[in-house]
Amino acid sequence: MAGSEPPRLDEMNEQEAFEFMEKLLSSLSAEEEYALRHEDYSMELPQSGERIRGRDNMLAFQRAFPTPPKARLRRVLVRPGLWIVEGFLDYGQSSSHVASIIELRDGKFFRDTRYYGEPFEPPAWRAQWVEKIED
């Protein structure tokens, strides 16, 4: 991806978006991601009440991140102007499931709202109605 024109994200189907995100998450390159963001990009983190406004601020945030997590993609849903991305992040000392609602504008990431949830052991009382998800 580096050194070339970034792809138009709004032209991808679900399979293409999944493969694209899988590759993107395997490198976690702040510079490659910068080219994919709209100039008015923002990322919101509702659980911590934070917003990163602007792709320059996001680039600086990513460059300053102490230890980027290892990411595993679960699925990507694509609708006109919208991607829903589910994955799992391993930070070494902790881990988290993540769901990201990504709005697109002009073929780029425009607004990214991320929700995180730590894994937990389910209570035994509901075992008869559920099955274990194996990723």
Domains (ranges, CATH) in the chain?
9-115 (3.10.450.50)
Q: What is the pLDDT of residues 59-110, one digit of tens each?
A: 999 999 988 899 999 999 999 999 999 999 999 999 999 999 999 999 999 9
CA distance 40 to 97: 27
Quote the mean pLDDT of the chain: 93
Please report the pLDDT score of residue 68 as a whole number. 86
User: pTM for the full model?
Assistant: 0.89
Please report the pLDDT score of residue 3 as a whole number. 55
Q: Is the pLDDT of residue 19 over 80?
A: yes
Q: 3-state class of 61 per DSSP?
A: helix
CA 21 to chain centre: 8
Amino acid at 28: L
Q: Where are the beta strands (DSSP E) in the chain?
A: 37-45, 50-53, 70-79, 82-90, 95-105, 108-117
Q: Is the pLDDT of residue 14 over 90?
A: yes
